Amino acid sequence: MSYFEDNCTAPGWTSGSVPAPYTCSNNQGVKSANDYQNSGKYVQVCTESEANVAFSQLNSGDHSAVRQVVGGSVVKYLSKYGTDGPLVAHNLNQSFYHLGGQVIGSPKFWSFVGGIIGSPNIAGTSPVSFSVLNKPGVTYSWSIPNGYSNIVVSSGSSQNSVTLTPTHSGTATLRLSISSPCGSVKTQEISLTIQTNICLEGTFSQEIYTGLNLNTVNQVGTGNITSTVNCPNSTLLTWQRTSGSIITYTTSGGYVNFNMTSGGTISYLVTAKSGSVTLSTRNVAFYNFGSFAVYPNPSSGSIRLDLNKDLTFGITIQSLESTRKIDLEGYRGGSEINTTMLDPGEYVLSVLHEGKVLNQQRIIISK
């Protein structure tokens, strides 16, 4: 494995007549079968032609050998005998252990894709690429198991290479899963550090949740909210409240703090300056959906919803007994919804925001 992974100088074989023994100058010690078979850099494959390593079970242990294409159709296998022997070349089924009758069953084959190649330190918002070796018979799957809102898979998710596009500063994990029809899934990961250098990018914290990405519109719970922004090359950062039901807040430079109430909202204009020059401005809003009550319920003509009046919602009223249905867009809290076209019965009222169902409640229409 030292020879295979660390590019030890090859013996220069040119024919089927292979000199032996051969000693690798890069001494990395001994690797057991468990080391590579449990590594995300290797995956079991179906055929010898797809393999880099052949594994054989012995009466007294196991034996691994590196597959080496000598030239043309000539293939030899490199292996060590014991723990300190030199590298020796042999045919697949003609190692010392094979000749001594110690091998049990047929060999299993493993392919090496290597470690993930690419810089884990990312600056800016330009796409960045990562890759491993492209091997036949291997299926590749890339994902971002955490920190997904900081960087996204933008192309090549099912290939040996992947392109990622940063969206926010912070950290994320890039995971590669490899598999084949003959082997279980193996994974490896690298940690990414992202600095987009975007002016007025920031985060906010709420109770035990910290480091949440600051978006233009942010849905938050009730309680204390703290947010920060930064801007490269700025000397002054200011927050100016522009609207909302929350009146009291504190601010210092790139920092703002306020207490969110049920159904509350607050919006700011954030400005970054260098001296008297404005570098950038940004509008940021926080809101809480508050309670979700329908009144009157039961209803015989119209209903109203106790929702945030500063936001718009989608409303769906679906009968439990028929296909009768009402769909509304752009609903604001307190507005009247005419239900006279609905038959008497039970309905499910759903409240949606930005295409997502926030909550549901059963209502009764009577006449």
Asked whether 244 and 265 are in contact (CB, 8 A), the reply is: yes
| Spatial distance between the Cα atoms of 344 and 319, rounded to a whole number of angstroms | 9
Q: Where are the domains of the chain?
A: 2-112, 121-195, 201-287, 293-365
Burial of 313 (0-12, 13-18, 19+ CB in 10 A): buried
- Predicted local confidence at residue 14, as pLDDT: 47
Which architecture characterizes domain 201-287 according to CATH?
Sandwich (2.60)
Where does 121-195 sit in CATH, by number? 2.60.40.1080
Asked whether 91 and 82 are in contact (CB, 8 A), the reply is: no
Per-residue pLDDT of the chain (367 residues; tens, 9 = 90+): 555 565 555 555 444 454 545 555 555 544 678 888 888 999 999 999 999 899 999 998 888 888 887 766 788 888 877 766 666 788 999 988 898 899 999 999 999 898 999 999 999 999 999 999 999 999 999 999 987 789 999 998 889 999 999 999 999 999 999 999 998 999 999 999 999 999 999 999 998 888 899 988 888 989 999 999 999 889 999 999 999 889 999 999 999 999 999 888 899 999 999 999 999 999 999 988 777 788 899 998 899 998 877 788 899 999 988 888 899 999 988 899 999 989 999 999 999 887 778 888 899 998 7
DSSP class per residue in 265-293 = EEEEEEEEEETTEEEEEEEEEEE-----E
> Residue holding tokens 């994990």?
173
pLDDT tens for each residue of 74-100:
888 888 777 666 667 889 999 888 988
| Assigned token pair, 294 | 């329908």
Provide CB contacts within 8 A for 274, sequence distance 6+: 233, 234, 235, 236
pLDDT tens for each residue of 99-148:
889 999 999 999 989 899 999 999 999 999 999 999 999 999 999 998 77
Backbone angles phi, psi at 48, to 5 degrees: -65, -35
| Spatial distance between the Cα atoms of 87 and 79, rounded to a whole number of angstroms | 5
- Predicted local confidence at residue 177, as pLDDT: 97
pLDDT tens for each residue of 350-365:
998 877 788 888 999 9
Q: Alpha helix (H) ranges present in 168-278?
A: none
Q: Which CATH class is domain 293-365?
A: mainly beta
pTM of the model: 0.72
CA distances from 242 to 92, 265, 325 (A): 76, 11, 38
Portion of the chain with pLDDT greater than 70, in percent: 89
- Predicted local confidence at residue 36, as pLDDT: 85
Q: Please, what is the average pLDDT of the chain?
A: 87
Would the CA dihedral through 142, 145, 146, 149 be positive or negative? Answer: positive
Asked whether this chain's domains 121-195 and 293-365 adopt the same fold, the reply is: yes
